[in-house]
Structure formats: C-alpha cells, structure tokens
Chains A and B, each alone.
Chain A
Amino acid sequence: MNEAPASAEDYAKHEHHSFLAASHAALDNPELQSALAKLGETLGQRNRDAFAALDESDLLRERARAIKDATLAELDHHLETLEASVRRRGGEVYFADDGAAACKIVLEILRARGLKRAVKSKSMTSEEIHLNAALEAEQIETIETDFGEYIIQVAGQRPSHLVAPALHLRIPQVAEILSRDAGEPLPVDAVELAAYARRRLRSAFAAAEVGITGANFAVAETGTIVLVSNEGNARLTTSLPRIHIAIMGIEKVIPRLADLPVFLKVLARAATGQKLSVYTSLVSGPRQPGELDGPDEFHLVLLDNGRSRILASPLRESLFCIRCGACLNACPIYRNVGGHAYGGVYAGPIGAVLTPLYDGLSANHHLPHASSLCGACQAACPVKIAIPQMLIELRDQLHREPGQLGRLEALAYRIWARAMRSPRLYRLGTWLATRTLGRWRRKSGWFERLPGQLHGWTERRDFPAPAPERFRDWWHDEGRAGQDEGRAGRPRPANDDEGRAGRPRPANDDEGRAGRPRPASDAEGRAGRPRPANDDEGRAGRPRPASDDEGRAGRPRPANDDEGRVGRPRPANEEGEQ
C-alpha cells in the first residue's frame, strides 16, 4: 500500500492507499475542497436542526440504540425468525460467510435463469463485497440507478460519501462525465443532467431482468426488508424486474414491525434533516397473485463477512450503524479530506472504525489516528455510537501489534505514563519544562520546528511551548487572589500550560494534520510560502478551544460534553471558507 497512486482521480478509483498521501492530494484539490466546503452548513446543520426540532429526540436515539443492543445480543434467534418469515412470504434466504460467497450466490441465481441485465439501487453492502466487478466478469450488464452512483459508475470511481456518493464532484465535472456517456455535450446544469439520467435509466429499468438492492432494515417478524431513498430508484428496482435480490449485513435485522418507526424517525433526520426520506419501501416477498407489478421471485442474501467477529469483540457497537452518513458531515477530518482519502468502502469516522475492522488494522493503521476525537460524530449519530472511544480502542490495539510502535515512541510513552501516575514526577517534569523550554520560548510561546521524529508536528504548524511558569506556581502566587473576584483563570488563559498538556499525542503526525480546520488556505500556503508567521496553519495549532476543532481535541472525554456544543451553530468554523 505504500506504492501509492498519485492523483486524486487514482484515489477515487482504487482502495487501500496511504491515508496521508491521499489526504495531501485531497487538500491540494480545489474542486474537492469547494465541494466539501458546503457540507457542514448544509447536511451537518440540517441534522442538528432536525434533532433540535423533535421532542425527546435524545430519548428516541437512546431507544434506537437500546433496540440495536438487545437485538445483537440475540442475533442468531432474530436471523432465524427473519429466515422463516421470508420463506413464509414466498422468498428464498441464503447465508454468505464472506463477500466472495455472497457474489457466488448472486451469480448462481442469475446463471440458473440465464439473466444478463441487472439494475441496482445504491447499496454499500454490495460495494463492500465488490459485486459489480463480479457481475461484469460474468458479462452481466449492471447499471447503478441512484443518480450519484450512476455518475461515479460511469466515471469508474468509488463512492465518497454514504448517502451522497458523488459529493466530491462539481457540476462541470458531472456534465463532462455524463456527456461522454451520452455521446453528446450536455449542459452544465444540475436539472438538465438529472433529466438526462432519468431518460437514460428509464430504458435500463425497462430492460432489466433482475433488480439488486441492499436493505436499510429487515423486520424479522414479517420478513420485510426496508429500503429508504429520495429518488425512487429503489422502488423502480424492486417493482419492475422479474427477480429481486437483496443483500444485507446480518446486523440490519430488527425484531418487530413496531421497532421500525423508531429508526425511521432518526434515520432521515440524521442523514439529511428530513422528517422522513421521500420513499420508504417495505418489501415483503414477491408479488401476490393478481398483482400487476412487483417481482416474481424474492431472494435475500444474509452476509457475515467479518461481522460475527466484530459482534464478539469490544467494538461490537460499530454494528449499530444505520449508514446515515451523519458522522461524515459532522467530522472536521472528513470535511477536509473527503471520502476517498480513507481508502476503504466506508469513509469518515465510522469508516475509520469499520475499515480496520473489516480489512485489517495493520494495513489501515492511519485510520484510527485520522480523528481529532472531538466527538462531533457521536453527537450527530442517530444511535449515539461512541466512535471516539472505539478509535481510541483501535489505537490501543494497534500499539500492541508488533512493528507498529517505534522504540523511541514506546519509550516516550512509557516515560509519559510513569510521570502521569506520580504527582511528584509530574510536578518535577512540569517544573523542568517551564524552567527550560518555557523560559527559552518566553517571548514567542511557540516552536516552529521540533527536532528528529517530532518534525512532522511542526511541518504545517507551530507547536505550543510550555508556559514560563507552572499553573501551580501561578495559582499559588496570584490565582487565589483572583478567585475573590470570581474569575480564577483570568490573567493566564492564553498560554496556560495545563491546557496544552491535555493535547493528545503531540508527536503524532497524522492527527495534527487531519485536525487543521482550514483546508483551502492551507493548499495555498503550501504552494507559496512555507509557513508565514500569521497564516491559518499557525493559528490551527494555538489553543482556541471555543472555536476550533484542535482545542476540543485535547479534552479527555469528548463524548460527554459534545451535545451542547455541536448543537450550536459555529459560524467561524463552518463558514470561514467561501
């Protein structure tokens, strides 16, 4: 994976590249930066507004979470119920251990009936198992029908967002891609391009023999799969072709029909801020006698592909994910580097958890570090998945894998850990740091270059120097006097060494870069000046906890206090560009 392809186009096509190289390319890509710039103030803000407008939304998300937790505890039982219900409704059920097995099942269904033309509605599970490649290898014409998926299928790219797969493309790029498809120039206009897709895909629907979908949920007691879309392509896919094949991860099952509205109420709000998506289809088996539309056959493929391994592990909670994409929209890292940089099928914070779990931790060692642990993902999540805690758990697992931790780094952490356990050592350490580094840098308060392996931190911004005086000493001399005025920290907040000590792993290169809040000016900075004293990069390193992501990154327990802060609009952070 170090043989990294070079251009953004390559990252859009290939998987499992280096996160660092890909994120650099993403930051240098003005089209991508401009596409990402809208995300926070549109989808991200709508998520927060929608939950704020719903009474008891917090309890409702808690309820959704409780249903997932209880269902997974008896998952085998619910899958057996689902299987029996689907069979009762006249459908067939298959069990696939991994992606290859799932592809084989689908191919055998098609082969046995001599089917050659398939339409698909957007399914991350089918991306996960690389179904399109398997179908094309068998000369089965396979057409993606979600508008965004169709665009990237024509372009030969991968989705970059869970619910908006072509988010990384701008209108002129889409026009160019679809013009090639049309064999004639199409106008650079979203409405015209959508109209072209409607015409083009209508003929694909009319000709299709098989419709392939994922499933947002599956109701065990009724044998129903639930498909949520805004365009209507999932409805066409499940209404017109003679055969319907649905592929779902085993974690998508919910026990009762009465559980479904709980999830529907949170899913669309989290994803797009809608109360409900435009179309929610409940598909229960093939068409009934006398119906003029709907498939003659319904096949449901249940996919494990590593999920049972995760189910037994401390990271089991990642199986709660309902694939709404809210954590991507909320994430300062995703909003800087986009989806392709992550290199896996799933991007963003949840991708940083899932890709190492599915595809191996060592091979994806950058991903658990591709987070400032600010907690915005958990705050936006409709089922409140503790993503920051899981990333920390993965970091911990990673550092126990051989070869993942340099000897020097290991030694540094051992010393750090020792000092943090002993008040005397800690006091001595901070005293030494203020007396030496702090007084040396008394004037500027910053290091512009750190030595040796630490240079990565200062490659793109300054490192805060320790204050010339310990907080403890200052408190002893002056702070208590200030307390009488009711403002303990008054004179020192700007260069308070306690706050800085809370930064997570300053030596770690990835985190720092990923945390930079201002991508566009950053690219500019690299192209021109190496590091002007006063540009955005410099500021990113400084402690301004109220308004930037870096500041929050340092807090030890982000999950507990993010609600309030993420719920408030933060114009400085989200509308700074453009």
Chain B
Amino acid sequence: MSREAFLARIRQAAAAGRAHRVHLRSDLPERVGYGGAGDDPAARLIDEVNAVGGQAHPAADLNEAREALAGLLEYYAPQTALCWRHPLLDRLGLDEALSQRNIARFDHDSLAPLDQAEQRQRMFAAEIGISSVSLAIAETGTLLLGSRPGQERLASLLPPVHVAIVEAAQIVPDLFDAFDRLNTDGVENLPSNLVLITGPSKTGDIELTLTTGVHGPGKWHVIVVKE
C-alpha cells in the first residue's frame, strides 16, 4: 500500500474530525499535577523505594555506601556480577569489593571482546546486577537508567538481584523534573533505551495476587548516598 494514500486518508479524517473536538479549554495551566518531593528529596526517595517493594539503604557518605554494598555482597554471596562502568562505582571501589570476595565481574570491558553467544551466556548466568543511575525521582521512588556502552540495559534486568547506587546530585524531585532534564540535555540525545524502574519485577496476573521477580529482578536494592 502506499504511504501517500495512507497519510492522505488520515489528513482528511483529521480535518473532518476537528468538527468533533471535545477539549477546547484554553485556561489549563501548562504544568499541572506536579507532586514534588518536599524538603528532603533523598529521604523521600528512600521512603518511596521501600513503599514500592524495594529496599533502600541510606548512606551518609561513600564509606557508609561501601559498607552497605559489602553487606549485600555478603548476604547474597554471588559468584558473578554484571556491572555498569560508572564514575560513582569507581569512587565506591566496586572492583576491590568484588575481588576481595572472589566475585567475577562481567562488564563492558570484559564482555566486549567475546562473541555474542559467550557474552549472552555470561550475562544470563550473572547472579547480581550492579549499576548506578542516570537520574532518580524522589516522589515516585524511580530510577532512570539510560543505555550506552558500559551501561548495559541487561545489568538491571537479567540477574535476580539488582543493586543501584544513587548519590544526592542524581536525585530530582518529580517525574516532570526528570523529563525537563531530558529536554535540557536535548531530545535528540536520548539513549537508544531509557528505562524508568520503580520497584522489583511484579505481576498480579493470577487472581490479582502480587508476585515478585517473574521476569526481572525480584530483589531491588537502592543505596542512597546523601552527600
């Protein structure tokens, strides 16, 4: 079929349909429904992460964050971790934390030289995913993760446990603020994949009963560094 005929038909229909427009109010403010996060966005983020079924770990500084991460690594005792490359993770000393416990680190540097089958095999086998975020939204307890080389989408998706480390500078109060930030960065610069994550993987498909971890991680930890 022809693209031109398709679009011409819609052009005609859209014009005819204007006779049936239902919303011609001109007094609506541009921004409505802004929730915001109050005085302490980090505290709000922590509350909301817990409210949606995740587990937030407040940390006053990087040292406390390091301890929180160590606690999680001891608890889950994974053999393999699928990790982002990110400055915050470097400052945290993720490499040392993993190597001290003999946890194999899979990331872009170690995976890129392999062929795709081997990459996939390792990613599927990873027992924990560790990432930072592009942004976090306090009001909803949401993490924004943009994809780019070194910041793989699968790290927050394939392993049964996802740990994300967030610092204060990455937190915005509201969903609207997050999209404002994307607009400021330039809409043409969106990553190929941007995901907003609000909680562990959930389903209510059987009798509307909540079950976690059906496809994505069932355990979702967010370490919030308040400085």
Interface string of B147-164 (1 = CB under 8 A from A): 111001110010000000
Q: With A75-B14, A194-B213 given, is the CB distance from A283 to B207 under 8 Å?
A: no
How many residues of chain A have a CB within 8 Å of chain B?
A: 107
Residues of the B chain whose Cβ atoms lie less than 8 Å from the Cβ of A39: 208
Among residues 97 to 154 in chain B, which have CB atoms less than 8 Å away from a CB atom of chain A? Answer: 108, 111-112, 119-120, 123-124, 139-142, 147-149, 152-154
List residues 202-251 of chain A with CB under 8 A from any CB of chain B: 202, 206, 221-222, 224, 230-233, 235-236, 238-240, 250
Q: Known: A194-B213, A206-B124, A274-B198. Contact between A38 and B208, CB under 8 A?
A: yes
Give min CB distance, B3 to chain A, whole Å.
Answer: 5
Residues of chain A in range 99-141 having any CB-CB distance to chain B below 8 Å: 101
Contact with B1, one of A43, A97, A145 (Cβ below 8 angstroms)? A97
A282 at the interface (CB under 8 A from B): yes
Contact A63 B32 (CB under 8 A): yes
Is A488's CB within 8 Å of the partner chain B? no
Name B208's contact: one of A43, A195, A261, A285 (CB within 8 Å): A43
Cross-interface CB contact of B7 among A95, A171, A238, A272, cutoff 8 Å: A95
- In the complex, which residues of chain B have a beta carbon less than 8 angstroms from the beta carbon of A326? none
Known: A169-B206, A198-B214, A232-B216. A257 touches B182 (CB 8 A): yes
Residue of B23, B32, B195, B211 touching A279 (CB-CB under 8 A): B195
- Report the separation of the CA atoms of residues A171 and B32 in the bound assembly, to the nearest whole angstrom: 42
* B215 pairs with A233, CB closer than 8 A: yes
Q: Which of B13, B17, B111, B209 contacts A292 (CB 8 A)?
A: B111
Docked pose: A37 CA to B25 CA in angstroms: 39
Question: Which residues of chain A have C-beta atoms less than 8 A from B204's C-beta?
Answer: 164, 230, 272
Partner of A151, one of B2, B120, B205: B205
A260 at the interface (CB under 8 A from B): yes
Residues of B within 8 A of A289 (CB): 149
Q: What residues of B have a CB within 8 angstroms of the CB of A236 in the complex?
A: 157, 215-216
Binds A, one of B59-67, B86-94, B184-192: B184-192
**With A43-B208, A62-B25, A76-B11 as given contacts, are A231 and B201 in contact (CB-CB < 8 Å)?**
yes
Given A206-B124, A308-B10; A235-B22 close (CB under 8 Å) = no
Q: B28 contacts which chain A residues (CB < 8 A)?
A: 59, 62-63, 66
B208 touching A221, Cβ below 8 Å: no
A486 at interface (Cβ–Cβ under 8 A)? no
CB neighbours of B141 from chain A (8 A): 275
Q: Are B203 and A230 in contact (CB under 8 A)?
A: yes
Complex: A34 Cα to B32 Cα, angstroms: 39
A 49-92 contacts with B by CB, 8 A? 54-57, 59-60, 62-63, 65-66, 68-70, 72-76, 79-80, 89
Which residues of B have CB within 8 Å of A343? none
Which of A72, A283, A286, A291 has the most B CB atoms < 10 Å from its CB? A291
Within 8 Å CB of B20, what residues of A?
Answer: 313-314, 316-317
Check if B14 sits within 8 Å of A76, measured CB to CB. yes
Q: Is B6 among interface residues, defined by CB-CB distance under 8 A? A: yes
Q: Does A523 contact B (CB under 8 A)?
A: no
A265 within 8 A of B: yes
* Nearest CB in chain A: distance from B24 CB, A: 8
Q: Please provide the chain B residues from 52 to 98 with a CB less than 8 Å away from any CB of chain A in the complex.
A: 52
Are A294 and B124 in contact, with the CB atoms below 8 A? Answer: no
For the complex, give the distance between the alpha carbons of A62 and B187 in Å. Answer: 25
Cα–Cα distance between A55 and B194 once the two chains are bound (Å): 27
- Given A35-B207, A57-B33, A95:B3 Cβ within 8 A: yes
Output the nearest chain B residue to A290 by Cβ-Cβ distance: B149
- A59, B215: Cβ atoms closer than 8 Å: no
Given A272-B204, A275-B198, A96 and B147 contact (CB-CB distance below 8 Å): no
When A59-B28, A198-B213, A198-B214 are in contact, do A79 and B7 touch as well, CB less than 8 Å?
yes
B193 touches which of A43, A55, A70, A283 (Cβ 8 Å) = A283
User: Given that A239-B153, A275-B140 are known contacts, is A60 also in contact with B211, CB under 8 Å in the complex?
Assistant: no
A453 contacts partner chain B, Cβ-Cβ < 8 Å: no
Chain A positions 139-174 with a Cβ under 8 Å from a chain B Cβ: 145-148, 151, 164-167, 169-171, 174
B119 touches A292 (CB 8 A): yes
B216 partner residues in chain A, CB cutoff 8 A = 231-232, 235-236, 278-279
- A190 touching B192, Cβ below 8 Å: no
User: Is A250's CB under 8 angstroms from B10's CB?
Assistant: yes
**Nearest CB of chain B from residue A150's CB, rounded to whole Å:** 9
CA distance A40 to B87 in the complex (A): 48
| Complex: A490 Cα to B85 Cα, angstroms | 75
Q: Which residues of A does B touch, CB under 8 Å?
A: 35, 38-39, 42-43, 54-57, 59-60, 62-63, 65-66, 68-70, 72-76, 79-80, 89, 95-97, 101, 145-148, 151, 164-167, 169-171, 174, 190-191, 193-195, 197-198, 201-202, 206, 221-222, 224, 230-233, 235-236, 238-240, 250, 256-258, 260-262, 264-265, 272, 274-294, 302, 304, 308-309, 311-314, 316-317, 386
**In the A-B complex, the 4 residue pairs with the closest CB atoms:** A232-B216, A60-B33, A290-B149, A148-B205
Apart from A62-B28, A290-B148, A311-B16, what 5 extra A-B contacts exist at CB < 8 Å? A73-B17, A202-B124, A274-B198, A312-B12, A386-B22
26 residue pairs A–B, Cβ–Cβ below 8 Å:
A54-B35, A62-B25, A63-B32, A68-B23, A69-B22, A76-B11, A96-B1, A97-B1, A193-B206, A198-B213, A232-B214, A235-B157, A236-B215, A239-B193, A276-B198, A281-B193, A282-B190, A284-B192, A287-B192, A290-B148, A290-B149, A291-B147, A293-B154, A311-B13, A312-B12, A317-B20
